[in-house]
Structure 1
Amino acid sequence: MQLRRQPLSAPRPGDTRPAAQRLAVPLLLLLALQGAAASGGPEDSGWLQDAEPSSRLLSQAARAALHFFNFRAASPSALQVLANVLDGRSWVNQKKEYKFDLVFTTEFYSAEEGEKRLGKCSAQVFFRNEKPRPAVNVTCTQLVKKERRQEEDYQLYKLMKQLKSPLNAVSIPDSHGYIAPSLRPIWDLAFLGSSYVMWQKSTPFLHYYMSQISSVKQWKTNDDAIDFDYTVLLHEFSTQEIIPCRIHLVWYPSKPLKVKYHCQERQTPEEASGTEEGSAVALTELSNF
């Protein structure tokens, strides 16, 4: 937009301000307009939009958003997995930071026949300097009804609390890929806890999936929460490595999930402790759940 040079107006009667003060307001307005134009969008602030983002990158960001969603929802009865990415845009800057805007569908993780396609989500995902633990803002609709989710979570909780002795199991699933129905709640709880670890460790180029529970031990507690120690095997898809992770999980229905973990890998202990600095400087609350 071309700005026309306007002749300086003569001071009005009684206006005794110096000329410099009379020019200050329009000059500040001009600087503000120029600043707004400089920050008008991602491309204007050093971000370059990828005209054709790869389906792999978009799916990677969507999975990271769902790991975060599952962890914050803290419901083993309503775990979601990615179905399809319907729409997605991505940007990258010179610092190799990535931003994604996504729309995708999900499936119920423990779906019965005929329940496969379940929800639809939109998400913004931000990876800072190719680091793990992306910042996520995710909204999902058409999910499991709240009443059903709460009822199923409570039934699982009551089942675990009624065990005559604390659970101690190994190798879920077994060598044939079979999970006994009685152990399915344990698997779902482990997947819930692993969602936190997988979100923490996801980068634009690394994603994970829980492939097996090596061992699980339930601890007796003096409060109402369920307390487990797991050792799970995470499959890192980009490198095809299998990474053992010890996870301590404390869960109570409708309460925030508590997770601590340590993974055995080639990273330094600080980077593998679950306390490293990542992309998510401040978490954004998920909504519509």
Structure 2
Amino acid sequence: MDLVIMFVLALLTVVSGSPTVTIRPEAQPNATQQMLKKAVIFGQQQTVAVGTEAPGDVMATGELNPSHYPAQRAAKVVQHYLNTRYGSPYRVFGLHKVHSGHAEDVAESGRKYLLKISVQEFLRETVKNCTAEVFFPKGEKQASPEVRASCDELLQIDSKAQDEALYQRYKMNQSLVSAEYLPDSHGNMDPDMKPFWHLGIVAASFVMLSESNEKTLYNTAQVAQVTQLETENDQLKFNYDILLHDMVSQEIMHWKVLFTWSPSEGVKVLQKEQLPRCHCGRLPNKN
């Protein structure tokens, strides 16, 4: 089966099972590079015209081509924003399509993008329209983009029952979750681990939102490792190693993220740290 299809199936299927799973990859030479060449941008159904513009091109003003980098970069930030605000193990948002985009300079302070997009909630295959405003500040030190989004119909999707069931299952679990390589180099993962892959996408969105600018286009490539820690203050606590893929530079970035989650509080990132550059000719071995 084609790897892209495997990724889509992995995102759309959620199954319950045993609480403790350790997944190990069937290592191949250049496995990660092969996976990334075939993988689509998470949540995006149209092709991005990545070959039409140089990564360092001058940003256009006025009406934007929806399939080109400037509009796609700004729209991708909206996806990360929605996941940080509303994402959960059973509610994950991805950019479906950019319908229109407009960019303008705001004095000397930055650039503002006005977007009409459609966003997909993957587990239910639900696509709804959104309007959004993304502001990229200028300055010597990079600041996170500022986002406003109106996606009322999308946010009516209710995952409370599924999230609560997962939370109760793992809150008192005596055997803490430990897993690796979600998905593996072939795009597969144990069904029990799919909610934790989704949770990794949500946690990664905090990193991608803070690191995004007008020259990046981030996607979650893989959760390299999941470690559940002891529950604190009724919050499930996790340490994740996450690989991010910048579609512009083709770089793989390795981040460690410590966070808590519960249905009532959502994901709360406690620490995030970029690790040394990942030399990913083959999937990293955590043993």
TM, length-normalised to structure 2: 0.69
> Which of 58, 64, 75 does residue 62 from structure 1 map onto?
75
Asked whether the 8 Å contact 1:50–1:92 carries over to 2, the reply is yes
Give 1:280's aligned residue: none
1:184-228 C-alpha deviation (Å, 9 max, x unpaired)? 011011111111111011101102111111111101124211100
Asked whether the 8 Å contact 1:102–1:122 carries over to 2, the reply is yes
Give the root-mean-square deviation of aligned CA atoms.
Answer: 2.2
Asked whether the 8 Å contact 2:60–2:70 carries over to 1, the reply is no
1:93-124 C-alpha deviation (Å, 9 max, x unpaired)? 5748210111110111334xxx2x42221111
1:202-281 equivalences in 2 (<5 Å): 202-259=212-269, 260-264=271-275
1:1-289 equivalences in 2 (<5 Å): 50-55=61-66, 56-92=69-105, 95=108, 97-111=110-124, 115=125, 117-129=126-138, 131-143=142-154, 145=156, 148-259=158-269, 260-264=271-275
Code of the aligned partner of 1:200: S
Structure with the larger RCO, 1 or 2 (CA within 8 Å, 6+ apart): 2
Cα distance in 2 for residues equivalent to 1:264 and 1:222? 26
Asked whether the 8 Å contact 2:171–2:231 carries over to 1, the reply is no
Secondary structure at the residue paired with 2:64? coil
Identity over aligned pairs, percent: 29
Secondary structure at the residue paired with 1:71? helix
Give 1:9's aligned residue: none
Residue 241 of structure 1: CA displacement? 0.7
Residue 79 of structure 1: CA displacement? 1.4
1:16-62 C-alpha deviation (Å, 9 max, x unpaired)? xxxxxxxxxxxxxxxxxxxxxxxxxxxxxxxx982332432112111
Query: For structure 2, which runs of at least 5 residues remain unmatched after alignment?
Result: 1-58, 278-287
TM, length-normalised to structure 1: 0.68
Code of the aligned partner of 1:247: V
- The structure number with the bigger radius of gyration is 1
1:52-100 C-alpha deviation (Å, 9 max, x unpaired)? 3243211211110120111011433221101111222111257482101
Paired residues, what number? 214
Code of the aligned partner of 1:137: R
Give 1:276's aligned residue: none
Cα distance in 1 for residues equivalent to 2:188 and 2:143? 32
Cα distance in 2 for residues equivalent to 1:192 and 1:202? 15
Secondary structure at the residue paired with 2:95? strand
- Label 1:222 to 1:256 Cα distance change in 2 as closer, same or farther (>3 A): closer
Asked whether the 8 Å contact 1:98–1:204 carries over to 2, the reply is no
Asked whether the 8 Å contact 1:120–1:141 carries over to 2, the reply is no
1:102-148 C-alpha deviation (Å, 9 max, x unpaired)? 1110111334xxx2x422211111001173510111110322645x3
- Label 1:265 to 1:203 Cα distance change in 2 as closer, same or farther (>3 A): farther
Query: For structure 1, which runs of at least 5 residues remain unmatched after alignment?
Result: 1-47, 267-289
Cα distance in 2 for residues equivalent to 1:252 and 1:138? 24
Code of the aligned partner of 1:72: R
Give 2:14's aligned residue: none
Code of the aligned partner of 1:219: L
Secondary structure at the residue paired with 1:100? strand
Secondary structure at the residue paired with 1:52? strand
Cα distance in 1 for residues equivalent to 2:146 and 2:133? 8
Code of the aligned partner of 1:139: S
